[in-house]
Structure formats: structure tokens, C-alpha cells
Amino acid sequence: MAVDIVREYPDTTWSDDGPTRAVEAAVETGHVLSFPHLAFVLSDSERKFLDERWADGRAKNISVRWPSGELRGAAADGADLPALRSMIVRYADMAERLVLRLFPHYAGHLRRGNSSFRPADMASRKTSWRQDDTRLHVDAFPSNPMQGTRLLRVFSNVNPSGRPREWRVGERFESFAQRYLPRIGRPLPLSASLLATLGITKRRRTEYDHVMLQLHDRAKADLAYQHDGPQARVDFAPGTTWVVYSDQVLHAAMGGQHMMEQTFYLEVEDLAQPETSPLRTLERLLNRPLR
């Protein structure tokens, strides 16, 4: 089965006068929106930041947290610190302008999540299978239950030496979910409130979060699915920006270095078509609410 979920757009500008607008239907139905001519351009003085040494070694990303605007994970001092921060903040501002043009329906509802700069080589990361993002997965985090809230992400490849960001993408969310749902049981009674009380989760882990974590883990643990499941290889060349619902699109990051990423949050009710969301899709397949 061929996977064909990448849609390309000709935009060369982040600002309001770009040609592509009101493409909520494309992103909400699980496409990757790719802009091969929409580069995040670094200034001459910023180009030195394209080096792993600026990350402090504990975090894999240098990030700006919102709403505080605090910079985390950077190994910099003096004037480099505000310069690094302002590069990431500029990316956050441009990404926000872009998504509000692409998805005007979200105006007033989109919340800004972390902004990050990832200077490290993908291939150099050594992790457990569960954290191994070279395996196809949908984003779901054990300590950060989303309770159905959507994860919209904007990525830009800023590699200076021609290296693409190499991804694999997989089948549509609904067929992926149908594959594993029959084997996913209900969460243990009390486990959600216990995890929240103990501070292991930031908020209550709903049954939606339980199912999403199971889907994430079962896909990553299934080597036959990783090798032979429906998928396609996608290379994002330097200068490319791409936009995707990472809680819906099966993706795996196979290689590349130097990337910007901006996360946005959106409630299911604020989508143009709420029924396309993972929450509503899973509720339909299971025929019960996942609250």
C-alpha cells in the first residue's frame, strides 16, 4: 500500500501576503504540509549557533518556554545567550504568523507551546526503544497527558551543508488505530488519579491518553510493522518548512541535523472538522467517550 500524504505548497514568505491560506482541511485530514521554498534564514551572526556545542548536553534541544519566554538547555554566556534566544523567538513569531494564515479558523484558539532549536545530529542519539524516534509513532508523552488537545508542529530544516531531514511517514491514523485497538485494554482503576497525585503526570491521564500511549508503544515495539507496515520515505531539504499534526501523522525521524521546531496546542472543538481528530476517531472506533 502506497503512502502519499505530503502536500507541497509554493510559498516563499512567512508573512500575511503568502499565497496559501485556509488549508485546515488538508492538515486536519492527516497530511504533511510541506513548503520547500520557505526557509528560516539565519543572520550572519546567528550562523555560528549551527553547532552542537551550544546545547548544554543534558537537554537534546535548546528551547524557549512560553508564556515565560525563558531560555532552556543552552550552553552560552554573555551576549550569546540573548542572541540565541532572540533567534528562537523570531522563529516562534514567524511560525505563528504562518499558521494563522494557513489556518485562520484557529485564530484566538491556538496556544503557543515550546519553541526549540535542535543543533544535534539525529543519528547520534542513543535511547531506549520507547524513546527511539527513528521508529514510526504518533506523539504521546507519559508525563504530559494531552486529554485530547491537538499537537500542531512547524519544523524548518536549517542545515547549512545540504543535509536533508529524513523522515518516514506511515498510514492514516484510523487504519493504524484499527490495527492495534483490539489488543489495548482499559487503564487500571485508580491509575490515572494515582499518577497525577504522585506528580508523575502533569494532569490526569485520561483514557484517551492511555490509548495514545499504547498506540505509541505498540507501534514502536512492533518490528514487523516498522519494517513492512505501510510507509513512505520523505526528505525535507534545507530551506524547507513543514507543518503537521504530530499526534495524528505516523512519523519517524531517520536523520538530519539543525532544525527549528514550534509546537502549538489546539482544543478539539476548535478544529474546523473536530471529527477528524484522534480523540473523535478513537471514540468512534471504540463507541464510547474517552474522557
Residues within the interface to Fe ion (CB under 5 A): 139
Helix (H, G, I), strand (E, B) or coil at 282: helix
Residues with Cβ < 8 Å from 44, sequence gap 6 or more? none
Compute the least distance from the CB of residue 135 to Fe ion, in Å. Answer: 10
Compute the least distance from the CB of residue 175 to Fe ion, in Å. Answer: 19
Residues with Cβ < 8 Å from 137, sequence gap 6 or more? 216, 219, 220, 250, 251, 252
Find the length of the chain. 291
Q: How far apart are CA 147 and CA 196, in angstroms?
A: 13
Compute the least distance from the CB of residue 153 to Fe ion, in Å. Answer: 8
Query: C-alpha cell of 156?
Result: 524548518
Q: How far apart are CA 206 and CA 290, in angstroms?
A: 7
DSSP string, 191-206: HHHHHHHTTSSSS---
Given the C-alpha cell 502533569, which residue does it identify?
Answer: 202
Is 261 or 283 the residue whose CB approaches Fe ion more closely?
Answer: 261
What is the enclosing helix (H) or strand (E) of 28? helix 24-28
- Residue type for position 45: S
Compute the least distance from the CB of residue 139 to Fe ion, in Å. Answer: 4
Backbone angles phi, psi at 45, to 5 degrees: -75, -20
Is 26 or 140 the residue whose CB approaches Fe ion more closely?
Answer: 140
Query: C-alpha cell of 41?
Result: 534564514
Compute the least distance from the CB of residue 252 to Fe ion, in Å. Answer: 8
Is 99 or 253 the residue whose CB approaches Fe ion more closely?
Answer: 253
Is 139 or 207 the residue whose CB approaches Fe ion more closely?
Answer: 139
Compute the least distance from the CB of residue 116 to Fe ion, in Å. Answer: 13
* Residue nearest to Fe ion as judged by C-beta position: 139
Is 105 or 150 the residue whose CB approaches Fe ion more closely?
Answer: 150
Is 28 or 139 the residue whose CB approaches Fe ion more closely?
Answer: 139
Is 139 or 171 the residue whose CB approaches Fe ion more closely?
Answer: 139
Compute the least distance from the CB of residue 13 to Fe ion, in Å. Answer: 28
Residues with Cβ < 8 Å from 255, sequence gap 6 or more? 121, 122, 123, 163, 164, 165, 166
Backbone angles phi, psi at 169, to 5 degrees: -125, 155
